Homo-oligomer: A and B are copies of this chain.
């Protein structure tokens, strides 16, 4: 578990958990079939509530990134590299559409956005 949680962030903790584990799976850092730590262990290690971990795990399952075997644990889904790429782009594009609509509201063109992004990167 290589997770960093911020209490003061405006993002709910379960969301932070979901996002970070999603990324790890979609980057291939967690292999197919990898067994996620039991909810209780993860909760203790991350110092969060069991409910919070459960919520994050549920969100992962809803996105088809993990599957649960009752009584055995949770495992990273068996995804082909094509499926991984597809899901990754799906998540990225979903966020980008939101981000871009914000930039557009200021009347920015694509090139202006690019210039600003370059500065930060």
Does B96 contact A92, Cβ atoms closer than 8 Å?
no
Copies of this protein, total: 4
Q: Is A80 an interface residue (CB 8 A)?
A: no
> Are B114 and A100 neighbours in the complex by a CB distance under 8 Å?
no
Closest beta carbon of chain B to A48's beta carbon, Å: 11
Is A44 in the interface zone, CB < 8 Å from B? no
Asked whether, in the complex, the Cβ of B117 is within 8 Å of the Cβ of A100, the reply is yes
Cβ–Cβ < 8 Å partners of A117 in chain B: 96, 100, 110, 113-114, 117
For residue A7, give the distance in angstroms from its CB to the closest CB of chain B: 5
The 9 closest A-B pairs by CB, nearest first: A110-B121, A99-B99, A7-B69, A23-B105, A8-B67, A27-B107, A100-B120, A114-B114, A96-B120
Please give the residue numbers on chain A whose beta carbons come within 8 Å of chain B beta carbons, in ascending order.
Answer: 7-8, 12, 19-20, 23, 26-27, 51, 67, 69-70, 72, 88-89, 91-93, 95-97, 99-100, 102-103, 105-108, 110, 113-114, 116-121
